[in-house]
Structure 1
Amino acid sequence: MFKILKAKEPSDPLTGAAGSVAFLLAVNKPVYPLYLLFLAPSAFEVSLFTALSLPLYLFVWGMARKGHSYPARLGIVIVGMIDTILISFLLGGDSGALLFLFACTILAGVVFYDDEKWVSRVLISVSFLAFLTLEGRVGPSVTAISASDMQTLYFINVSGVAALMGFIALRLPRPAKQD
């Protein structure tokens, strides 16, 4: 039963880290609306749409497990950025969802190798420019969310960004010290 969750030897450490992030996000997708059901109920219905990206994160995770290194590492950054932007428009600018672009920026900076630095730099720039372009310009939620629930939603999203960035930092491979 748990064979699917058993870690397979990654093709390389950065791909393993990217796959772990994709798996964490996939697992969180059905849980996020449940948080909101209890903590910010007026945001529950619209939050159900956030789970639509679950198959994309599972696909990235599967690519990482099968050793498709570059597509998996590229995929986690691109899927993360697109997912973040779409969810920001669903939940509204005051939800703090757009802040997940910071985690995407960090991922773009750490899951690529030295010979892929230009891909990394382009993705970092796209993520940062998307934030600068959209911050303050994303309108209200597509459904009515009460002011108190929006404050709770903002706190949940800011906490989620911090936790995700912490997970990324902990999951990254640490190179051996050179003597």
Structure 2
Amino acid sequence: MLRGLVSKVQEYTKNPDPLANAAGTIAIIVAGNQPFYPLYLHAIVGAAAWPAWLTLLSTPFFLMVPAIARRNTLLGRALLPIAGVANTVLCVKLFGTASAVELFLLPCVLLGVILFRPRERVMMVLVLMVPFACYFGLDWILGPPMQIFSSSEYNSIIAVHAVSVAALIALVGMLFANILSTKNL
């Protein structure tokens, strides 16, 4: 049963463009992990983590990446970092910059560079502008967070965010190491 599910997911993410294939794979892994985020926060802060369930509002955008990439690889690849930025902005509104959730903008910047070919620099620059603009505007545009925690709770939340960002960057690195080893760009 699990093997069949994995096979269907691989079939859904499969794309002849190796960059679009990587974007689809990353997007599906992120979408598959999103339901665990509220559970992690609930384990840390209890019922006060209820706003984390709102982060699932971004899941459909991650799930759409492979489908859009099949129709237009450039748009599909651009959607992934933009969906990541939107999810991060939502999380900053929910938990504030004290949670260090804006660390998730780092993999968005990485994806904004690595998902595009040299001839696609215009799209790359446009996509890269999104996380930088959001980072510099987060504090004054979003206002206070929906939920505030104690400093010890924030320390635990920061640890979850830091490890999650590191794992996501490692995943991106592994996928692109495979792409580069085949030199099939």
Which TM-score band (shorter chain)?
Answer: 0.7 to 0.9
CA distance in 2, matches of 1:176, 1:17: 13
Q: Which position in structure 2 is the counterpart of 1:83?
A: 87
1:63 aligns with 2:68: yes
* Counterpart residue number, 1:174: 180
1:128 corresponds to which letter in structure 2? Answer: F
Tell me which residue corresponds to 2:101. Answer: 97
CA contact (8 A) 1:89 1:139 kept: yes
Residue in 2 aligned with 1:48? 53
RMSD: 2.2
Aligned partner of 1:4 among 5, 8, 15: 8
Equivalent residue letter for 1:47: A
Unaligned runs of 5+ in 1: none
Runs of 4+ in 1 over 4 A off after TM superposition: 135-140
**8 Å contact from structure 1 (residues 60, 76) kept in 2:** yes
User: Which 10-residue stretch deviates more, 131-140 or 159-168?
Assistant: 131-140
Question: Quick one: which of 23, 29, 32 aligns to 1:24?
Answer: 29
Q: 2:42 aligns with which of 30, 37, 42?
A: 37
Taking the aligned partners of 1:101 and 1:56, their CA distance within structure 2 comes to 16
- Identity, in percent, stands at 28
Give structure 2 stretches of 5+ with no counterpart. Answer: none
Taking a change above 3 Å as real, the CA distance of residues 96 and 137 of structure 1, as seen in their structure-2 partners, is farther
Decide which structure has greater helix share: 2
* TM-score after normalising by structure 2: 0.84
Question: Could you tell me which residue of structure 1 aligns to residue 128 of structure 2?
Answer: 124
Per-residue CA deviations over 1:17-59 (Å, capped at 9, x if unaligned) read 1101110110111111111121332542111111111111111
Distance in 1, Cα, partners of 2:47 & 2:151: 10
Q: 1:164 aligns with which of 164, 168, 173?
A: 168
Higher relative contact order (CA 8 A, sep 6+): 1
Deviation, structure 1 residue 138: 5.8
Q: Cα–Cα, structure 1 residues 42 and 87, in superposed 2: closer, same or farther, change >3 Å?
A: same
Corresponding position of 1:73: 77
Aligned to 1:7, the other structure's residue is in SS state helix
Asked whether 1:151 is paired with 2:155, we answer yes
Aligned length, in residue pairs: 176
The 8 Å contact of residues 42 and 149 in structure 1, kept in 2 or not, is answered as no
